[in-house]
Amino acid sequence: MICEQCGTENPPGALFCQKCGRQFEVQQEVPASVYSQQHKLFRCANDKVLGGVCSGLAVYSNLDVSLVRLLAILLFFASGTSLFIAYIIAWIIIPEAECIGE
């Protein structure tokens, strides 16, 4: 960490310059594109066992995709046709995107 203000070299991860006290900007390692994809609901184009809705929901909610599929199947049997209709609607309205981190 080299201070832009006075040029003093500080230890890595330092929050403030040891000489002039200038505050360093905290560097976020997560790229903006990955961040936005993780926080947006979409269907996985490369993982579409059931149209990609479950895998998209899994990425969105940070749950395991197998768990989401299991829940979807259980809910389907519990609720009858209403979840099936909701699934079809989700399939239509949720945009398709490349899935990451599967």
Query: Quick one: 101 exposed, middle or buried, by C-beta within 10 A (0-12, 13-18, 19+)?
Result: exposed
Instruction: In angstroms, give the least distance from the CB of 1 to Zn ion.
Output: 10
Judged by CB under 5 A, the residue of 2, 14, 15, 20 near Zn ion is 20
Number of residues binding to Zn ion, judged by CB under 5 A: 8
Using the rule CB under 5 A, is 22 a contact of Zn ion?
Answer: yes
Q: Buried b vs exposed e over 11-34: b needs ≥16 C-beta within 10 Å?
A: eeeeeebeeeeeeeeeeeeeeeee
Instruction: In angstroms, give the least distance from the CB of 4 to Zn ion.
Output: 8
Is residue 15 helix, strand or coil? coil
Instruction: In angstroms, give the least distance from the CB of 27 to Zn ion.
Output: 17
For Zn ion, the closer CB: 22 or 69: 22
